Amino acid sequence: MKIRRVFIANRGEIAVRIIRTCQRLGIETVLGASEADLDSLPARLASQVIRIGPAKPAASYLNVEAVVGAAAAAGADAIHPGYGFLSENASLARRCLKQGLLLIGPTEEQLLAIGDKLKAREHAIAAGLPVAPGGPAATPDEATVLAKQIGYPLLVKAVGGGGGRGMKLVREPSALIDTAALAMAEAEAAFGDRRVYLERFVASGRHVEVQIIGDGERVVHLGDRDCSVQRRYQKLMEEAPAPGLPERLREEIRAAGVRFGHHLGYRGLGTVEFLVDRDRGDFFFLEMNARIQVEHPVTEAITGLDLVAEQISVAEGRPLRVAQDEVHWNGHAVECRLNAERWRQDFRPSPGTVTAAVFPVGPGIRVDTHVQRGAKVPPFYDSLLAKIIVHGADRADALVRLRGALALCRVDGVETNLGLCAQLADDPEFMVGGVDTGYLARFLERRA
Amino acid sequence: MNLTNEDVEEIIRILDASTYTDLRLETGRFTLVLRRQGSGWTQESEVRSVPTSVPGTDPLTPERAPLASAVPAPPAAGGPTLIEGLIEVRTPMIGTFYRAPKPRAPPFVEVGSIVGEDTVVGIVETMKLMTSVYAGAAGRVVDIRAADGELVEAGHVLMRLEQVDA
């Protein structure tokens, strides 16, 4: 089926991003906007706009009935959910099917399979992916056997505990028996359950993910990305390819991503996330994101593909347009997220009205944004203002471009993290490449 | 039809070969300002076209719900203020005010509750970030002046306290 009119159930830069591709493909766009976004840049760019509810996300962007009802009223034949909000919501997939609307995303079954952490882990094991080694032990002897499989260092946790309570770090085998026995006694006293859970401890991990796309039969990967520069699980800088990974490891990670997609019979664009253990040099499955991601432009930059166009093509029921040996990677790309926040004041959000928005332009620079002069940054949604994406011949070249590009950015009216981004782009540790997920916290501490 | 990124890059290529340092393009639908900055260029664009509503549906004029504090709020953000013997508890930032830690949970405080300086009396949610609001002073809650789920501007009075003798 050829999609002629897409309903966009999202806002901000990703709504603008989707509209741009639809315009290029000659597809009409209907933006479902909340009360707070009726005047936004995506609302001005879309062919048509329909109000889906009040500003609060629960009543608008997260409201399945409001979204599907508006899409039907607008005569759309497909819904693009973007990222966040309803993008991985299985009931949206179900409602779309019932309404005769195409969802530009995976099937309900696939969303259910990966929506729950434990289920996703089971599927990863079934697909032969490495998962964080671990398991329960009821006696010190059982713990010894299990610890041998897991390797050191490892964590001993009370099965009945949670949130870090009753967690102990064991660095070497000689300390295991005593620590496990103590943990069991404490667990018994605290939770009435003496079982402990042993788990791999990753002292220094990198967040590496694989972009995959499938048509329900074939799955190809579009390379890897590194998103280790993050704070409280919020990514700040992403790049492709992941710098400094041994080639054998990179190939294994990419193959694992494809294997997971095959196992699910995956249809659509998705990202399989892994934690790479820097000390051990191995990796395991974290989770899968069954949608387009914020950081997709770095993959687009080095592959030359338009991932939204590929999503639409697959949703139309067409077979993949690209074979694995036709995917080529060229150079290195880095993305920096510009957020409305006071990063020096513990990242307090900074909503308001943008009075000036100046961005760099030129070869090797892409800026994805919904922000222009007069734009409102409402307090109801996330703080992302713009993504600055640079593409260079190699990583060093990309970073030179990034520093140049950031120096040309100016957003007035709201506070931004531009200064932090510029400092990071100039930080020797980041410039070396391959930092771990603890890097940003350490960087901020150094500067505090 | 608006300019695409490719269009802008094409314009930059032409400008780059010239001696011009800036370009201002203005149509009914958009304004584009390009400026040379050292060896690079910046763009400032503004799309001005008016959003079109889906025929047969609501027009797009936002129902401007008045914000909780239509009266100009005093500049003091957060922190208690003394008025007529009552202590005002203000929100430190704009956001959605919640009286309880989660939906259907009992509120942090009710009228009549005794609070200390460090008692959490509510939460303000701004851009997915929850900020606790502290009483800031000891006392008894006399009235609560913002509803659960209401959008409040920075400095809006959330509740008032009276001092109680220990």
Q: Which of B41, B60, B127 sits opposite A362 (nearest CB)?
A: B41
- The encoded tokens of residue A22 equal 């639809």
Task: Give the minimum alpha-carbon distance from B61 to chain A in angstroms, rounded to a whole number.
Answer: 8
pLDDT tens, position by position, B15-61: 998 999 999 999 888 999 999 998 899 999 999 989 999 987 777 77
State the pLDDT confidence band at B71, using cuts at 50, 70 and 90. very low
| Burial (0-12, 13-18, 19+ Cβ within 10 Å), A327 | middle
Q: What is the ipTM of this complex?
A: 0.84
Q: Is the pLDDT of residue A425 over 90?
A: yes
Q: Is the pLDDT of residue B83 over 90?
A: no
Q: Cis omega (within 30 of 0) on the bond before A153? A: yes
pLDDT at A166: 63
**Residues of chain B contacting residue A361, judged by C-beta atoms under 8 Å apart:** 8-9, 12, 34, 40-43
Residues of A designated as active site: 291
pLDDT at A161: 64
Task: Give the minimum alpha-carbon distance from B105 to chain A in angstroms, rounded to a whole number.
Answer: 18
pLDDT at A187: 80
**Residues of chain B contacting residue A410, judged by C-beta atoms under 8 Å apart:** 42
Q: Is the pLDDT of residue A415 over 90?
A: yes
Identify any residues that bridge with B22 across adjacent strands, giving them in sequence order: B35
pLDDT tens, position by position, A108-130: 999 999 987 778 889 999 999 99
* C-beta separation of A391 from A301 below 8 A: yes
pLDDT at B166: 55
pLDDT at A98: 96
d(CA B81, CA B72): 16
pLDDT (average), residues A23-47? 96
Do B42 and A408 count as a contact with CB atoms less than 8 A apart? yes
Q: HEC string of chain B?
A: CCCCHHHHHHHHHHHHCCCCCEEEEECCCEEEEEEEECCEEEEEEEECCCCCECCCCCCCCCCCCCCCCCCCCCCCCCCCEEECCEEEEECCCCEEEECCCCCCCCCCCCCCCEECCCCEEEEEEECCEEEEEECCCCEEEEEECCCCCCEECCCCEEEEEECCCC
Which residue's entry shows tokens 């882990």? A121
State the pLDDT confidence band at A250, using cuts at 50, 70 and 90. very high
**Residues of chain B contacting residue A30, judged by C-beta atoms under 8 Å apart:** 54
pLDDT tens, position by position, A148-200: 999 999 988 887 765 556 678 899 999 999 998 888 888 887 777 888 889 89
d(CA B52, CA A127): 48
In whole numbers, what is the pLDDT of chain A averaged over residues?
94
Q: Is the pLDDT of residue A50 over 70?
A: yes
A 353-372 residues inside an 8 A Cβ radius of B: 356-363, 366, 372
- What element of type H or E holds A168? strand A168-170
d(CA A399, CA A395): 6
d(CA B23, CA B36): 9
- First-to-last CA distance in chain B? 70
pLDDT tens, position by position, A328-376: 999 999 999 999 999 999 899 999 999 999 999 999 999 999 999 999 9
A265 Cβ under 8 Å from any chain B Cβ: no
Mutation to test the B interface, candidates A6, A47, A51, most B Cβ within 10 Å: A51
Determine the longest span between alpha carbons in chain B, in angstroms: 79
Q: CA A371, A377, A382 angle in degrees (round to 5)? A: 100
**Residues of chain A contacting residue B39, judged by C-beta atoms under 8 Å apart:** 404
Single pTM value for the model:
0.86
